[in-house]
Amino acid sequence: MVEGYAIVFNSESRDLGGFTETIEPSALEGVLEISDILCLLNHNEDKGVLARCNKGVGSLELEIDDKGLKYRFEAPNTTPGDELLEGLKRGDISASSFAFTVAGEKWTKEEDGSYLRTITQIDKLFDVS
pLDDT digits (tens, 9 = 90+) for 40-87: 998 999 989 999 999 999 999 999 999 999 999 999 999 999 999 999
What does the mean pLDDT of the chain come to? Answer: 95
Residue 18 confidence (pLDDT) above 90 = no
Mean pLDDT of the region 31-48: 94
Q: Which residues contact 89 (CB under 8 A, 6 or more apart)?
A: none
What's the pTM? 0.90
Residue 24 to residues 17, 41, 83, Cα–Cα distance (Å): 21, 25, 32
Instruction: Tell me what pLDDT residue 30 has.
Output: 94
Residue 25 to residues 48, 51, 65, 112, 113, Cα–Cα distance (Å): 30, 24, 9, 26, 26
The model's confidence at residue 125, banded by pLDDT at 50, 70 and 90, is very high
Percentage of the residues of the chain whose pLDDT score is greater than 90:
90
Instruction: Tell me what pLDDT residue 112 has.
Output: 87
Handedness of CA 96, 124, 18, 113 (dihedral sign): negative
Phi/psi at 72 (nearest 5 deg)? Answer: -155, 135
Instruction: Tell me what pLDDT residue 127 has.
Output: 96
> Exposed, middle or buried: residue 72 (CB in 10 Å: 0-12, 13-18, 19+)?
middle
Instruction: Tell me what pLDDT residue 98 has.
Output: 95
**Alpha-helical regions (H) of 3-127:** 79-90
What is the DSSP secondary structure assignment for residue 110, as one 8-state letter?
A: -
What is the DSSP secondary structure assignment for residue 87, as one 8-state letter?
A: H
Instruction: Tell me what pLDDT residue 103 has.
Output: 97
